[in-house]
A = this chain, B = another copy of it.
Amino acid sequence: MRAFITGAAGFIGSSMADRLLQNGHEVVGYDNMSTGQERFMEVARPFSTFKFVKGDILDQAAVTAAMRGCDFVFHFAANADVRFGTNHPSRDLEQNTIGTFRVLEGMRANGITKIAFSSTGSVYGEAKVFPTPEDAPFPIQTSLYAAAKTAGEGLISAFCEGFGFQSWIFRFVSILGERYSHGHVFDFYKSLLADPTKLRILGNGKQRKSYLYVQDCLDGILTAIERATEKVNVINLGTDEYVDVTQSVGYICEALQLAPALTYTGGERGWIGDNPFILLDCAKMRSFGWAPTLTIREGLLKTLTYLQHNQWLLESR
């Protein structure tokens, strides 16, 4: 395939670029470098089958031109800054909804009809069913991030119906692993480097979350694209496990051989719109023969090792 990857200098986008290139595909990477990292493209750059275009998905002419000649779009570009949504309410709308619309319009202009999209388990809001299946009760959105991703899903589905597109919409749990560059493992590690004697935890630490290792995530995406044949394929991508925030802090401290004093800001939620419990029903994804290879603890330790060897990333944020 000749793949167009938005967010190609980001955590998941750059990892997918590497994987596709190593599998013999051509890749056009697209990123506005607002949070992307040139160093995440170190593996991809030497490939003659890799081309990078710096540009913004909101720039219709640029994104349309960049994807010319491609036959599959991996749309990973997004504002992933979930926690601070209420500080700048338009950012999620622009980057996660309008940006997705621009990508879809670019595809339509170029006759590209296949798209994989990184959505989120947060679209279930405060789910009432655990593990949460794809057809859980119609949720009420609780964050601007998830509302914007839900809107992105809706646009993609409507383009499938209206313009003959085919889509694979992945509702991710939190993804961990090499190039992981935001989220609580990142924040905790950075804080412990600065002061190993104490750690402040948002909420009561009992928020239960699921995490998936990035290479397992890529396996899942590529398996589903091959095996899921509906017009619109909505697929949860996570693990059957969860850990609470205090547990993951425990794994981190154990690996770093630290025993910081823990303080909690309190409350069931770490921030406005935080989900106290995310556990997705991944039976559909597993029905395609996929299963994660790492446990949450293993993925978390790999992430930590990566951050220990890539301190530059901590300083870049």
Q: Which residues of A contact B (CB under 8 A)?
A: 85-86, 89-90, 93, 97-98, 101, 104-105, 108, 123-125, 134-144, 146-148, 150-151, 153-155, 157-159, 161-163, 232, 234, 272-273
Question: A16: shortest Cβ distance to chain B, in Å?
Answer: 24
- Residue among B139, B151, B161 making CB contact with A273, cutoff 8 Å: B161
* A138 contacts B140, C-beta separation under 8 Å: no
A159 to B148, CA, bound (A): 12
With A and B bound together, what is the CA distance between A284 and B19 in angstroms?
50
Question: What is the copy number of this chain in the assembly?
Answer: 2
**Chain B positions within 8 Å of A232 at CB level:** 140
CA distance A154 to B142 in the complex (A): 8
Contact A85 B154, beta carbon cutoff 8 Å: no
Query: Which of B89, B108, B136 is A105 in contact with, Cβ under 8 Å?
Result: B89
Given contacts A85-B162, A90-B101, are A157 and B141 in contact (CB under 8 A)? yes
- How many Å lie between the Cα of A66 and that of B234 in the bound state? 41
B140 touches A97 (CB 8 A): no
Contacts of A142 in B (CB 8 A): 157-158, 161
- Does A158 lie within 8 Å of B141, measured CB to CB? yes
Contact assessment for A138 and B141 in the assembled complex, using a CB-CB cutoff below 8 Å: no
Contact assessment for A162 and B90 in the assembled complex, using a CB-CB cutoff below 8 Å: no
Interface centre among A98, A124, A150 (most CB of B within 10 A): A150
Q: Is the CB of A98 within 8 A of B93?
A: yes
Contacts A85-B162, A89-B105, A147-B158 aside, 14 further interface pairs with beta carbons under 8 A come to A89-B101, A89-B108, A89-B162, A98-B98, A124-B138, A125-B157, A138-B234, A141-B153, A142-B157, A147-B155, A148-B151, A151-B151, A158-B273, A161-B273
Inter-subunit contact A163/B86 (CB<8 Å): yes
Interchain CB contact (< 8 A) of A154 among B86, B108, B147, B234 = B147
- The answer for the CA separation of A163 and B104 in the assembled complex, in Å, is 31
The minimal Cβ–Cβ distance linking A60 to chain B, given in whole angstroms, is: 10
Contacts of A154 in B (CB 8 A): 141, 146-148, 150-151
In the complex, residue of chain B having the shortest beta-carbon distance to the beta carbon of A231 = B140
Bound Cα distance A162, B83 (Å): 11
Interface centre among A97, A137, A140, A144 (most CB of B within 10 A): A140
Docked pose: A104 CA to B155 CA in angstroms? 21
Give the complex CA separation of A265 and B108 in angstroms. 27
Contacts of A98 in B (CB 8 A): 93, 98
Inter-chain CA distance A105–B272, complex, in Å, is: 18
Complex interface: chain B residues within 8 A of A124 (CB): 138
